[in-house]
Chain A
Amino acid sequence: QSALTQPASVSGSPGQSITISCTGTSSDVGGYNYVSWYQQHPGKAPKLMIYDVSNRPSGVPDRFSGSKSGNTASLTISGLQAEDEADYYCSSYTSSSHVVFGGGTKLTVL
């Protein structure tokens, strides 16, 4: 299984919106509505931000939203804040009960 494809970096100014894409195949992203997103600050463990494409766990701000079209899932962060600067990873359930992660995207808040 190959890693899901994410842009290496994205940036935005405070208050703006950004979108991070996550492209897979019909065996993972395109085949299931089981995509999750993780936020990782330097030196810290990842934190679950989105699951089932667009659901937020309790405590995650509604500024974070997810969607999917075909083989590509997306994470949108609106009203960017300085604390959102982090690495973001997508993940998908795949056939045979496996899991695959994306390569990660570094978000810079300008």
Chain B
Amino acid sequence: GDSVTQMEGPVTLSEEACLTINCTYTATGYPSLFWYVQYPGEGLQLLLKATKADDKGSNKGFEATYRKETTSFHLEKGSVQVSDSAVYFCALTVYTPLVFGKGTRLSVIA
């Protein structure tokens, strides 16, 4: 079945450091790919998405590019802030409900 594999956390970074969270997927068909973020005490929020190969999703300084050849959708940010501390989930859908990875906890320290 469809699945998503994320790098395990937690990830701890200093403010202004570069972030990469790896995500690879397995899917039958052509999935749409998503990154969701869960801030402490809040529900999941869509961060960005890409619906076809080579699309780049971006939001709030975060970017991810849909790489069909490597079945990857890595999340990147050039300079993280304390406010980016949260759990990040990679997810996919192929006309099915969302399939999530296990999540990666990011802690950014000042």
A binds B: no
